Structure 1
Amino acid sequence: MSIADVSGKSLAELVSLRGRRAVVTGGGRGLGRAIALRLAEAGADLLIGDIDEELAVTAAKQLAERHGVRAIGTAMDVTDAASVAAAADLAVSELGGLEIWVNNAGIFPSVPLLEMSEETWDQVFAVNARGVFVGAREAARRMSAAGPSGVTGGAIVNIISTAGFRGSAPGLAAYVGSKHAARGLTRELALELAPLGIRVLGVAPSYVPTEGNMMAAAAVPAGELPPTNLMLNGPVGRIGVPDDIARVVLFCASDLAAFMTGSTLLADGGDTA
């Protein structure tokens, strides 16, 4: 099937997600929560999956109260295929379908290469690369199965990183490798899933001050510039915030990006230029 021509829609219709159902992995806090907020504001019903079930449930409740959408929070471990499949099934059974999936969950331990264990390397790839594969697979399986409306297709958005375009910093070999893998996977998924009417896009943020990133910045060795300083010296002249990234994800998930698939969009304040 081909992606629909949406040229006849108004701008309000193009950005609206009313009637669509979305899943955000790692959506209990930080970047994932900001993404969920914007998707809900655009009208999407949501399932928020997070390794911390309490965070997911709390975030879902707040979204529902704030934007009047249906929202579910559930435990999800993206390294466990059964957990991901269960969350996808829950979205379909409770929300009535699935049209948007955001692979946001990620980890970024900083360990010098000569000290890095195989276990650490494997864990980073399990979350940041295999987690994208499993999430996209489970999403696509459900997006390609016609629901009550008979409509199939959807959009998968993978959160990459500027580390998927270059080296990043000492100690991040596993992270950089996993993000290059996720970026490559985005291109391949777009090719394979296009015949099913499923678009796949990546969004590559630079440093933004989420809870996890702030902890990582605090651990930067003495004598090295923390990411906050580097961003202040960049072209935009300020540090990005989670909503800067969330707005780009909303664009990718909406019909504004209906003619786009396979690309990874840099949301980096010009940092990678």
Structure 2
Amino acid sequence: MPVPDVSAKPLADLLSLRGRRAVVTGGGRGLGRAIAARLAEAGADLVIGDIDEGSAAAVAADLAGRYGVRATGAAMDVADGKSVAAAADRSVSELGGLEIWVNNAGVFPSVPLLEMSEDAWDEVFAVNARGVFLGAREAARCMAGAGGVIVNIVSTAGFRGSAPGLAAYVASKHAARGLTRELALELAPSGIRVLGVAPTYVPTEGNRLAAAAAGFDLDDLPTDLMATGPIGRGGVPDDIARVVLFCASDLSAFMTGSTLLADGGDTA
């Protein structure tokens, strides 16, 4: 099932997601919330999945009111196959289908290697790698025969080492990047494209809490990380959300398997 040639479409139609249905995991705050907002602005109907059902419902209500799309919040544990399948089924039953899936949910703990237990390692992989696998599997099940796009939020840590204490995180993000390439090959015959987006550190609620737990100064951290980068400023969630929108739209119709660095030149 080849992805169609969209060369004749005007730019507005290439960017529009009107009539498409999307699931965003970890959509109750941070990057997920910003991603969901851009998809909704482009016209997509949404299932906002989050471990915190109340946050997911609040984001869904806000986006429905702002953009006139259909949006619903769902409790979702991305490490639990039944929970992920339920969110996918909800998109089909309540919204009528599924064309876009964003594997955004992730965890960012900092534990020195010699202090890390097997359980701590497994918890990181359960969300950051198993969660990507489960989300992609359920998305592909729903998209089979009709095509769609899966976008995996990777990290610059999927390209390099990051910082002491992040062995599990870095390894899990390399796994997510590898899954992106493999899933692109496996799902291409079904007309499903798979792309990754690799942000640098962005000061979201979750990242700031993780940074504080690791002993970093929350006020100085974004500046310290990006001051010497080519862009000359720290990133904000919408910087990442716009790249995800590009991946989810027909603007990227000839792309699959790539992981796009959204890092202000930090990895250059």
Structure 2 length normalisation: TM-score? 0.97
Structure 1 residues not aligned, in runs of 5+: 146-151
User: In structure 2, what is the equivalent of residue 71 of structure 1?
Assistant: 71
Alpha-carbon distance in 2 for matches of 1:102, 1:271? 23
Q: Which amino acid aligns with 1:173?
A: A
Q: Flag the 1:222–1:136 CA change in 2: closer, same or farther, 3 A.
A: closer
Matched residue of 2:186: which SS?
helix
CA distance in 1, matches of 2:83, 2:225: 38
2:266: which partner in 1?
A: 271
CA deviation vs aligned residue, 1:13-34 (integer Å, no higher than 9, x gap): 0000000000000000000000
Q: Are 2:224 and 1:238 equivalent residues in the alignment?
A: no
Letter aligned with residue 113 of structure 2 = L
Deviation at 1:230, TM superposition (A): 1.7
SS in structure 2 opposite 1:215?
Answer: helix
Is 1:110 matched up with 2:110?
yes
Give the letter aligned to residue 117 of structure 1: S
Percent same amino acid at aligned positions?
Answer: 80
SS of the residue 1:266 aligns to? strand
Alignment partners' CA distance in 1, 2:140 and 2:213: 38
Indicate whether 1:54 and 2:48 are aligned: no
Return structure 1 stretches of 4+ with deviation > 6 angstroms.
none
Distance 2:75 2:17 in 1: 24
Contact 2:150 2:192 in 1 (8 A): yes
Structure 2 vs 1, CA of residues 132 and 34 (structure 1 numbering), >3 Å: closer, same or farther?
same
* CA distance in structure 1 between the aligned counterparts of 2:223 and 2:190, rounded to whole angstroms: 41
Corresponding letter in the other structure for 1:265: L
Give the CA deviation at 1:235: 1.1
Q: Take 2:247 and 2:216, find their aligned partners in 1: how far apart are those partners?
A: 39
- Segments of 5+ residues of structure 2 without an aligned counterpart are none
Deviations 1:111-161 (A, max 9, x none): 00000000010000000001000000000000005xxxxxx0000000000
Query: TM-score normalized by structure 1?
Result: 0.96
> Is 1:228 paired with 2:223?
yes
- Equivalenced residues, count: 267
2:203·2:222 contact (CA, 8 Å) conserved in 1? no
